[in-house]
Amino acid sequence: MKISKDKLLNKTTSHEHEFIEALELLVDDINANKEINSYGIIAFMHQLQNRINVREKIHKFSRSQYKYMPDPAAPIIVTGLPRSGTTFLFDILCNDADHRSPLYWEITRPLPWLEKGSWRESLRIFATDAELRFARLVVPMLDAMHKLRALSPEECEQFNTVTAKSVVYIYMSHLPNYRKFLMETDFTNVFEWHKKFFQILELSGRPKNWLFKDPSHIEHIPEILKMYPKARFIHIFRDPIKSITSTCSLTETLWRGLSNQIDKELIGRQTIEFWENAILKNKEGRTLLDSTTNLDIDYADFIKDPIATMENIYDFIDKPFEESIKIKMESYIKNHKKHKHGKHHYELKDYGLTEEIIEDRIASKWQIN
């Protein structure tokens, strides 16, 4: 079974060059990969059809309404290498109602715009949860690695799939040419669409600030600042030996559900190459930041005392750390123990990697300031 580029492009009137180039590379790599199984083809087809549908709705809506849509509220952006505690940190911060993040169902079905609490909104939430239940059947360890629910705050990288430029796709299968393209291409158009999406979400109310989170943001600081000049970044640093190995394990788990065969050493090589490149871009991008726009956090300190880390973050964003917020966060931390949804097991050698390789390629370049 092959995916037709022409049929996908016929579903949208937004034919910018960057989108067509990315989509063609992505579909060519999917069609060339003989190891993708039937679940994988269905997953890719559903994802692409959904994202193009969302893209078309946003394109038409923003074209008619854009002049009435103010710039989104300034974001706080949580980032770091994958499997470094970014999700836990993000989820704790979401306990403050002033920090608004997109919910998973809003990313997959944002338009037509609906009033909060309407029955049509409930239908969208139900449909999104049904899709996620199927995903958990295909990838049984998904909850242990990244819990997804329709009403859960989610990383904004999931939205970037509407541009056909997103790391989400390379976590689904081996796409060598597309992966190389992601490492080299400019992401300005991605964050132009990103901004449109958050302008639309603000139709239901403008938050004091947006809360974004994704590891891939480490490599796109310049493009993000073009769209969000008042953005503030929080970088979290974990021992790369642990984070890179866990990233390999995550990739293996997702590929295994969608492929007939996988090459674990290939996963190791590609993971090192991709994130080494991202770190080098981050080093350059961080020159655009200072102590008022960036905060570095040590993972070990964060896990040892999350509330102390929150106090540091609230000092950084110049916001009082109120007792009511602290109590909510303490409750969340207590009720969300590590490995609650299961534990995935992995070893560095499984992916053809050694501590020396990670030290040379990653750890020596990725250090807290």
**pLDDT band per the 50, 70, 90 thresholds, residue 204:** confident
Look at residue 18 and tell me if it is in a domain.
yes
How many structural domains does the chain have? 1
* Distant-in-sequence, close-in-space partners of 59: CB < 8 Å, separation ≥ 6: 12, 13, 14
**Helix/strand/coil percentages in the chain, nearest 5:** 60, 10, 30
HSE, CB side, 13 Å, CA atoms: give it for residue 330.
10
User: 76 — phi, psi (to 5°)?
Assistant: -105, 130
Number of other residues whose CB lies within 10 A of the CB of residue 173: 24
Mind listing the pLDDT tens digit for each residue in 245-262? 999 999 998 898 899 999
Domain contains 284: yes
Residue 236 has pLDDT above 80, yes or no: yes
Q: Is the pTM higher than 0.95? A: no
pLDDT digits 0-9 by tens, 72-97: 999 999 999 999 999 999 999 999 99
Residue 368 lies in a domain: no
Which of 232-236, 312-316, 347-351 bottoms out in mean pLDDT, i.e. has the lowest?
Answer: 347-351
Give the tens place of pLDDT for each residue, 36-58: 998 899 889 988 998 999 899 88
Q: For the chain, list the strands marked E by DSSP.
A: 75-80, 99-100, 209-213, 232-237, 294-298
Q: What average pLDDT does the chain have?
A: 89
What's the burial of 254, exposed, middle or buried (CB within 10 Å: 0-12/13-18/19+)? buried
Q: Residue 195 is part of which domain span? A: 5-363
Q: How many CA atoms lie within 13 A of 115 on its CB side?
A: 3
Specify the pLDDT at position 322.
96
Determine which helix (DSSP H) or strand (DSSP E) holds 309, and give its type and residue range: helix 306-316
What CATH number is attached to the domain comprising 31? Answer: 3.40.50.300
Q: 339 pLDDT exceeds 50? A: no
pLDDT value at 301 more than 80: yes
Beta bridge partners, 235, equal: 79, 296
**How many C-beta atoms lie closer than 10 Å to residue 26's C-beta?**
26
Alpha carbon distance 87, 233 (integer Å): 15
Quick: pLDDT tens for 107-157.
Answer: 887 776 666 667 677 788 887 777 777 767 766 666 555 676 766 788 888
Instruction: Tell me what pLDDT residue 31 has.
Output: 96
For residue 25, being part of any structural domain is answered with yes
CA dihedral 177, 180, 185, 187 (to 10 degrees): 100
> What integer is the mean pLDDT of 196-206?
86
Beta sheet of 75-80, edge-to-edge order: 99-100, 209-213, 75-80, 232-237, 294-298
Q: Which residue has the higher pLDDT, 139 or 264?
A: 264
Please state, in angstroms and rounded to a whole number, the distance separating the CA atoms of residues 351 and 135: 25
pLDDT at 193 over 80: yes
Residue 369 lies in a domain: no
77 strand-pairing partners:
212, 233
153-167, pLDDT tens digit by residue? 888 888 999 999 999
Whole-angstrom distance, CA of residue 152 vs CA of residue 194: 19
Judged by phi (left if over 0) then psi (alpha if -120 to 50, else beta), residue 318 lies in: left
